[in-house]
Amino acid sequence: MSGGEGILLYNNITKKYCSFGFLARGKRNYYFATAGHCYLESARCFLVPWESKFTPTAFIGKTFFHRLEKIDFSLITIQNEDFEPIPTIRNTDSKVFPDLLLTEDYIVVSSNGAHLCLSGLISHVKCGFVESLNGFASIYAKYVSENIFAVSMVGENGDSGGSVFSYKQDMPEWYSEFG
């Protein structure tokens, strides 16, 4: 399982499709991180690969923790022992680079014009450029998020929580596949 792969969260009442962001490790358990607004109380979580047409293929675990304020973030406990997370970002629409290797755990976005990409269930991989730093937005008419940045790309419902990444060096030649 790679970052950007799809997940179905289901609690017998509601279901949501989102995307995996990255693997996180606690003292005793491994988790997958996704967006906090993807969280459903007592939800079971299933793998939904890009090519599955929204059909879950394997049980992964249960929702564990979430937060909406300051950072939109949640964790899913990995409970399936047969499940093997891979430290890559899904990019299987590309024949040249179907898996993008992770080399750093965080991104520093420090200037307008910097490039950012996302990998998610609906959009797969798409890239854009930072247009604004240090903005703010009202989320769900209850919370105000600060220090957000605007990028010249739009994710779709189901991409929430997916991996956001950048490249340290100049954009690779294959970047035009996503531009």
Q: Tokens 């459903």 belong to which residue? A: 40
**Residue 36 has what DSSP assignment?**
G
Please check whether residue 155 is in contact with residue 116, taking contact to mean a CB–CB distance below 8 angstroms: no
Asked whether residue 5 carries a pLDDT value surpassing 70, the answer given is yes
Q: Which domains does the chain have, with CATH numbers?
A: 6-78 (2.40.10.10), 88-177 (2.40.10.10)
pLDDT of the residue at 160: 92
Element (H, E) at 60: strand 58-67
Task: Kindly tell me the burial class for residue 6, based on how many C-beta atoms sit within 10 Å of its own C-beta (0-12, 13-18, 19 or more).
Answer: buried
CA distance 107 to 167: 9
pLDDT of the residue at 179: 44
CA distance 7 to 45: 6
pLDDT of the residue at 131: 77
- Average predicted confidence (pLDDT) for the chain: 81
Q: Write down the pTM of the prediction.
A: 0.80
Asked whether residue 72 carries a pLDDT value surpassing 50, the answer given is yes
Q: Tokens 């970052």 belong to which residue? A: 3
CA distance 152 to 172: 19
Residues 6+ apart with CB under 8 A from 88: 2, 3, 99, 100, 101, 102
